[in-house]
Structure 1
Amino acid sequence: MILPAALASLLLSLTAFAQESDEEQPALDLSGETVVVYNPDFSQSRELAEYYAEKRGIPKDRLIALELPLEDSISREQYEKLIRKPLFETFVRRGWWKLALSEITDPASSKPRQAMLVGESGVRVVCLMRGVPFQIRREQEKPATAKEDEASVDSELATLGMPSAPLAGAIRNPYFNQDVRFQIFQGAPGMLIVGRLDAPDADTVKRMIDDALHAEQEGLRGRAVIDFALKTGAYQEGEDWLTRSTILFREHGVPVFIDKEESLIPDHWPLPDTAFYFGWYAATVSGGVGSPAFKFMPGAIACHLHSYSAAAIRSEDRHWVGPLLKHGAAVSLGNVFEPYLSLTVHFDVLNQRLMEGYTVGEASWNATPVLSWMNVVCGDPLYRPYARGPGSTMGDDGRGRDYALYQGIAMKYQERGSQELKQALSELAETRNKPHLLELTALLSASEGKNAEAIELLEHAESLYVINTDKVRAQLYLAELYRKEGRAEQSKKLLQRIMDNKAFANVPAILAAKAMLEKQ
Structure 2
Amino acid sequence: MMGFDQRIIDFNLSLTLLFFCFLSSLLGKEPLGNSQYPSATLVIYNQNVGDSRKLAAYYAGKRNVPFENLIGLKCSTEEIITRSEYKKTILEPLRKQFDANGWWERKKDSQGNLRAVHTKMKFAAIMFGMPLKIQSTVSDSSKQKSSTYRGPGENDAASIDSEVACFNMDFPRLNGAVSNPYFRSTDPGGTPDILLTSRIDGPNYVTAKRLIDDAIAVEESGLWGMALIDIANLHKEKGAAYKIGDDWLETCNGFYQKAGIPTLVDRFSARVPKGFPLGKDIILYFGWYTQNAQGPFVDPAFQFKRGAVAAHIHSYSASTLRTTLKNWSGPLLSRGACAVLGNVYEPFLQMSTHLDLFNARFLAGFTFAEAGWIATPVFSWMQVMIGDPLYQPFIIKSNIEAGKDNDYKAFSIAVLRWASEPKKLISNLDKAATSLKSGKILEATGLLMMSKGKYKDADEMLKKASLLYTNSEDQLRVCLLRAQGKMRGGDKVSAMEILSNAVKDFKGSPGIDAVRSISEQMKKE
Query: TM-score, normalized by length of structure 2?
Result: 0.89
Q: 1:42 aligns with which of 39, 49, 55?
A: 49
Q: 1:432 aligns with which of 431, 436, 441?
A: 436
1:17 aligns with 2:14: yes
Equivalent-residue separation in structure 2 for 1:144 and 1:336 (angstroms): 15
Q: Is the 8 A contact 2:196 2:369 kept in 1?
A: yes
Q: 1:119 aligns with which of 113, 117, 120?
A: 117
Q: 1:474: which partner in 2?
A: 478
Equivalent-residue separation in structure 1 for 2:470 and 2:8 (angstroms): 27
Q: 1:130: which partner in 2?
A: 128
Aligned in 2, Cα 1:473/1:396: closer, same or farther, shift over 3 Å?
A: same
Alignment of 1:379-394 (within 5 A): 379-388=387-396, 393-394=400-401
Q: Is the 8 A contact 2:156 2:175 kept in 1?
A: yes
Q: 1:26 aligns with which of 13, 24, 32?
A: 32
Equivalent-residue separation in structure 2 for 1:68 and 1:334 (angstroms): 23
Q: 2:363 aligns with which of 355, 359, 362?
A: 355
State the secondary structure of the residue aligned to 2:359. helix
Q: 1:145: which partner in 2?
A: 151
Aligned in 2, Cα 1:511/1:395: closer, same or farther, shift over 3 Å?
A: farther
Q: Is the 8 A contact 2:4 2:432 kept in 1?
A: no
Equivalenced residue count is 498
1:210 aligns with 2:213: yes
1:457 aligns with 2:461: yes
State the secondary structure of the residue aligned to 1:92. helix
Q: 1:282: which partner in 2?
A: 290
Equivalent-residue separation in structure 2 for 1:392 and 1:366 (angstroms): 28
Structure 1 residue 374, shift from structure 2 partner: 0.4
- 1:125 corresponds to which letter in structure 2? F
Comparing 443-452 with 358-367, which one deviates more in the overlay?
A: 443-452
Alignment of 1:29-428 (within 5 A): 29-99=36-106, 101-102=107-108, 104-106=109-111, 113=112, 116-141=114-139, 144-147=150-153, 148-164=155-171, 166-182=173-189, 185=190, 188-232=191-235, 233-272=240-279, 273-388=281-396, 393-397=400-404, 400-414=405-419, 416-428=420-432
- 2:40 corresponds to which letter in structure 1? E
Aligned in 2, Cα 1:377/1:417: closer, same or farther, shift over 3 Å?
A: farther
Percent of residue pairs bearing the same amino acid type:
34
Equivalent-residue separation in structure 1 for 2:423 and 2:211 (angstroms): 38
Equivalent-residue separation in structure 2 for 1:428 and 1:30 (angstroms): 39
- 2:49 corresponds to which letter in structure 1? F
State the secondary structure of the residue aligned to 1:65. strand
Equivalent-residue separation in structure 2 for 1:252 and 1:465 (angstroms): 24
Q: Is the 8 A contact 1:162 1:189 kept in 2?
A: no
How large is the Cα RMSD of the aligned pairs? 2.4
State the secondary structure of the residue aligned to 2:447. helix
State the secondary structure of the residue aligned to 1:284. coil
Equivalent-residue separation in structure 2 for 1:418 and 1:309 (angstroms): 40
Q: Is the 8 A contact 1:218 1:395 kept in 2?
A: no
Aligned in 2, Cα 1:280/1:126: closer, same or farther, shift over 3 Å?
A: same
- 2:253 corresponds to which letter in structure 1? T
Equivalent-residue separation in structure 1 for 2:274 and 2:359 (angstroms): 26
Structure 1 residue 449, shift from structure 2 partner: 3.2
Q: Is the 8 A contact 1:198 1:314 kept in 2?
A: no
Q: Is the 8 A contact 2:9 2:402 kept in 1?
A: no
- 1:209 corresponds to which letter in structure 2? I
State the secondary structure of the residue aligned to 1:52. helix
Structure 1 residue 348, shift from structure 2 partner: 0.8
Equivalent-residue separation in structure 2 for 1:140 and 1:213 (angstroms): 42
Q: Is the 8 A contact 1:39 1:68 kept in 2?
A: yes
Structure 1 residue 81, shift from structure 2 partner: 0.2
Query: TM-score, normalized by length of structure 1?
Result: 0.90
Structure 1 residue 207, shift from structure 2 partner: 1.2
Structure 1 residue 451, shift from structure 2 partner: 2.4
Q: Deviations over 1:461-490 (max 9, x none)?
A: 112323322222222322333344454444
Equivalent-residue separation in structure 1 for 2:510 and 2:80 (angstroms): 38
Aligned in 2, Cα 1:42/1:82: closer, same or farther, shift over 3 Å?
A: same
Aligned in 2, Cα 1:22/1:245: closer, same or farther, shift over 3 Å?
A: closer
Aligned in 2, Cα 1:378/1:248: closer, same or farther, shift over 3 Å?
A: same
Equivalent-residue separation in structure 1 for 2:41 and 2:3 (angstroms): 49
State the secondary structure of the residue aligned to 1:44. helix
Q: Deviations over 1:429-470 (max 9, x none)?
A: 123322221001111122233322221111121123233222
Aligned in 2, Cα 1:307/1:260: closer, same or farther, shift over 3 Å?
A: same
Aligned in 2, Cα 1:7/1:16: closer, same or farther, shift over 3 Å?
A: farther
Aligned in 2, Cα 1:33/1:267: closer, same or farther, shift over 3 Å?
A: same
Structure 1 residue 70, shift from structure 2 partner: 1.4
Structure 1 residue 5, shift from structure 2 partner: 7.1
Q: Deviations over 1:17-42 (max 9, x none)?
A: 23547997633521111111111222
Q: Deviations over 1:406-451 (max 9, x none)?
A: 112222224x154432332122112332222100111112223332
Structure 1 residue 492, shift from structure 2 partner: 4.0
Q: Which runs of 5 or more structure 2 residues have no equivalent in the other structure?
A: 21-29
- 2:313 corresponds to which letter in structure 1? L
Q: Is the 8 A contact 1:165 1:171 kept in 2?
A: no
Q: Is the 8 A contact 1:222 1:254 kept in 2?
A: yes
- 2:459 corresponds to which letter in structure 1? I
- 2:437 corresponds to which letter in structure 1? N
Equivalent-residue separation in structure 2 for 1:311 and 1:392 (angstroms): 41
Structure 1 residue 517, shift from structure 2 partner: 5.1
Structure 1 residue 165, shift from structure 2 partner: 5.1
Equivalent-residue separation in structure 2 for 1:5 and 1:72 (angstroms): 53
Equivalent-residue separation in structure 1 for 2:152 and 2:489 (angstroms): 44
Equivalent-residue separation in structure 1 for 2:92 and 2:400 (angstroms): 45
Q: 1:443: which partner in 2?
A: 447
State the secondary structure of the residue aligned to 2:48. coil
Q: Deviations over 1:65-84 (max 9, x none)?
A: 11111111000000000000
- 1:224 corresponds to which letter in structure 2? A
Q: Deviations over 1:167-209 (max 9, x none)?
A: 2211110000111112xx5xx4121001001100111111111
State the secondary structure of the residue aligned to 2:136. coil
